[in-house]
Structure 1
Amino acid sequence: MEQQGSLQDGVVKDVRTLLWGNCPKEDVFQRWAQGFQFSQEEPTALVQVEGGPCAVIAPVQAFILKDLLLEGPPDIWKNVTRDKQDRLLIRAATEIIRQAADPIHPTYSLIHLDTDNSDDNPMANGEVSTEKAQPLFTSDYFHSRLRIFSTISLDEVEKYLSQRIEFFKEPFGVLLLLYTVVCTKGINGMRSEMSDPTEPVIDSIYGYGSQSLINLMLTGRAVGHVWDHDQDVGGLQLRGIDKQNTVGFLALLEHLRYCEVGAFLKSPSHPVWVLGSETHLTVLFSTDRRLVSPETPAEYARRVFKKYDPEGNNFIPANLLQDVLADLELVADDEYVDIMKKKLDNESLGIILLASFMDEFFPEEPRTCPDTFTLYHYNGLPRSNPDNRVRYHTGDAVLLECTVKCILDSNPMLTVLQTKWPSIEVQWDIGRTPSLN
């Protein structure tokens, strides 16, 4: 079933309010009004013109890199053709759209602009595709010309994107993908998953995307948290990530305990991670698949233990030990649990430490992660790269024997990497640490 037509005014209003709030600022909207463009120096790296739309651009870049890593290392990517760039962009967009759809009865809502040739249409004939300051390039202009093509066929989605790929390079390209993902998810689907559906997902002052928007682009779920599963906090059901994701996410704010990134995002199925600073998103990746080897029994046990430790204290009340053992399908009868409580809580403090639990039940934890590996970093903002040229930067990483973290406020890159690899050190090819901002 396919359907083409105008977006109803009510739907446009709802989507607009969900994204921008009641009164979107024109300068914020303008920063988002850019297309998907690749760097001349790094032909597989997207360029972000202004601050704000990294919440869409970085996830798209992450999915592009995920596909590229299946083909070989970065040193062979320099000869990518324009056709190959288009295919990478189409594949990444298709996967992001697919994730947002209902898994049982998917309907893909592909949003595009009315492209008639009237005099008031600056998109017509591609005449001003590189200009952003046209008077008609406004929020009102954009929203008044939104059209929809609906299909239940993923092949049709890919075909549609292939036929209209040039429009995604035009000034509204990033927004067209964003609106497609949001409309495919559906307003009700978005609101049911967001922590606070009354808050716009794009900051009305600075234009940053919310965690709900980042999660939507990365996982297809517009939840506001990055921990594993849903968590009950003080009677509130707070939605989290429901399964291992294809690409990952690491957050600088985790070391300040402002958030907790769970194993589903911290240990994705491909060695690609979006990195979140306070204001910007960049991407880390590696060709070493040992970094995403399957979860060991000990890693799974640690994750289950932390499920019963929602505040991240690295201990649980002793009366929850039986639940943890049962969850891990270990012996959990009353008599055995009482014996283990006395052993693990020999001072009768009423708590079980994570370290004691792991030493008792998983004493020989095999190390699956290599001691040394190569990392690559992407930042789409030209001003955040040496010589204002968007390139991948290479780092030689080593995991030290010492497990004591050295948090340096002056090195946010190292700080965010230590949330995944606590003892990591990295030497970067440019002689300084790449910027997260």
Structure 2
Amino acid sequence: MASTSQQNEEEPGSSSVVNPVDEVRAMTWGSELKEDVFLRWSQGFVFSDDEPMALLQYEGGPCAIIAPLQAFLVKNLLFSQESQCEEGTESWRQTNGDQRKHLLLCAMQDVISSVSSGSYFLVLQEDKQELTIENVAGSSDGEPTHVTFHRNLRIQTYKSEDELRGALMTTYHMFVGHGGVLLFLYSVLLTKGLAVIQEEMEDPSEPLIDGIYGHGNQCLINLMVTGRAVSNVFDHEKDVAGLQMKGISKQSLIGFLTILENLKYCEVGTLLKNPNYPIWLLASETHLTVFFSRELALVATETKWEEARRVFSEYDTEGSGFIQCAMLQNVLEALELVAVPEYVEFMTQRLDPEKCGIVLQNMFMAEFFPDEPDRLLPEYFTVYHYNGISRSNPNSKVMFLKGRGSAPNPGELEVLTEATPLKSCLRTKWPTFEADWENNVKPSIN
């Protein structure tokens, strides 16, 4: 283990050494850091008094860190061997004390380890006393809080996960104290490597946090969820006008869905829609929340029939149940079916005998995938939603809102209820998703 101070001495005959704290600060905030935005990010990881395992978010902005960490916390709470609890019970909601601390530390280690290439860095406060707004602001004559905060940072290096685990335990008080979210963010960035992050981003000059509104960008969210700071959420890479655009390279532990896909602004690939665990970040235009379940069938491997319906729906941009005949070849290619021009022309005539210029989804499925598989999802399943901002929760209490979800096959559906923002987000994965929430609450993704 080696320690690196925030200040680096000049080497004889050389220019001043670049300070890594200055570098990570510049990558995070850009050239200008507004005091009010910084203060919104200056909280620690704090648990709700009303839900022992729910993290609080005091102001808009740090959800880009808090929500992913909450998702990993839920993953460890529900699915680790040591945390298994009886099906049908909610004893996990009563976790407290040392076990709660342990699960938070495990979630932090999950994220840091996912970005590491062999070494680990923690950014810590110079003194081991928790800094508060009052004593930081009062430590310098009129100096902005963020200047004092960054001056009092040091960097600690570790060579193994065991060393990292021990260090997180001994410095736990710093991460739950004032500024803890930023200490964790900076630790993740330095462990990943700033140069590597810049290589993965499409625009390395763009700060990870918006300087005006304080929201984390998609690169930061992807880094927290997948370990890579790419700018896009589609699968693998895409050639767009000659540019290779980087997307998600492998299945993630935690998923991601966004209302922006419902609005046709982006495409979330299957690697994020179908994570290892039934836990998803839900993105509104400005905020991140968490949707989760204990029902592992929600992340079961997609069947060819389900894939075919999904791919067809991607080309049916209006959700009208048909595509233009001109798109048939694209659909066949996407499903790795025969797509030579002669065959496409033959199938076009077969699927559109009236020459209306469209291919109905039902006819397409009956022709290529006639045998619908047995239903994998149960008829109903228990779901939960988390929003860390108190004012976005019933009675301003941050709690896991519980509901009964369903996603019937389209042929079984009589009517689809009006879409709330939450449903619009979830229907990008389950087009027929419905939920009845306890006490008739309406979960907010804002």
Q: Normalising to structure 2: TM-score of the pair?
A: 0.84
Q: 1:320 to 1:422 in 2, by over 3 A?
A: closer
Kindly provide the CA deviation profile for residues 341-381 of structure 1, in whole angstroms up to 9, marking residues without a partner as x: 66457688999887665443322232322221111111111
Partner SS, residue 124 of structure 2 = strand
Partner residue of 1:55 out of 40, 58, 64: 64
Structure 2 match to 1:204:
211
Which residue of 1 is the match for residue 106 of structure 2? Answer: 91
Find the aligned partners of 2:220 and 2:252 in 1 and give their Cα distance. 16
Contact 1:321/1:352 (8 A) holds in 2: no
Question: Among residues 229, 242, 261, which one is paired with 2:249 in the alignment?
Answer: 242
User: Does 2:5 correspond to 1:6?
Assistant: yes
**1:261 counterpart SS class:** coil
SS in 2 for 1:283: strand
Separation in 2, partners of 1:352, 1:38: 53
CA contact (8 A) 2:252 2:275 kept: yes
Shift of 1:101: 2.0
1:119 is matched with none
User: Per the alignment, do residues 355 and 269 of structure 1 end up closer, same or farther by CA in structure 2, a change over 3 Å counting?
Assistant: farther
Mean alpha-carbon deviation: is it higher for 363-372 or for 43-52?
363-372
CA contact (8 A) 2:133 2:145 kept: no
For these two proteins, the number of residue pairs brought into alignment is 418
1:98, distance to aligned residue in structure 2 (A): 1.3
Residue 368 of structure 1 corresponds to which residue in structure 2? 376
| Alignment of 1:107 onto 2:111 | no
- Report if aligned partners of 2:406, 2:434 keep a CA contact under 8 Å in 1: yes
For the 8 Å contact 1:404–1:423, the answer to whether it is kept is no
Are 1:291 and 1:370, in contact at CA under 8 Å, matched by a contact in 2?
A: no
The two structures have a TM-score, normalised by structure 1, of: 0.85
Q: CA separation in 1, counterparts of 2:257 and 2:57? A: 20
SS at match of 1:83: helix
| Contact 1:403 1:423 (C-alpha < 8 Å) held by counterparts | no
1:230 counterpart residue number:
237
Code of the aligned partner of 2:103: L
Secondary structure in structure 2 of the residue aligned to 1:147: strand
**What is the aligned-residue identity percentage?**
45
Task: Give the match's secondary structure for 1:47.
Answer: coil
Q: Does 1:162 align with 2:173?
A: no
d(CA) in 2 for partners of 1:97, 1:90? 11
| Residue pair 1:43, 1:77 contacting (<8 A) in 2 also | no
Alpha-carbon deviations, 1:213-259, whole Å to 9, x = none? 11111111111111111111222222111111111111112111011
CA RMSD of aligned residues (A): 3.0
SS of 1:46 mapped into structure 2: coil
Please say if 1:435 is aligned against 2:435.
no
For the pair 1:377 / 2:389, whether they are aligned, the reply is no
Aligned equivalents of 1:135, 1:227: Cα separation in 2: 47
Q: 2:394 & 2:275 partners in 1: Cα distance? A: 30
Question: Contact 2:53 / 2:96 at 8 angstroms: preserved in 1?
Answer: no
The offset of 1:35, in angstroms, is: 0.5
- In the alignment, structure 1 segments of 5+ residues that lack a partner are 116-123
Of 183, 188, 197, which aligns to 1:176?
A: 183
**Alpha-carbon distance in 2 for matches of 1:239, 1:392:** 34
Paired position in structure 2 for 1:120: none
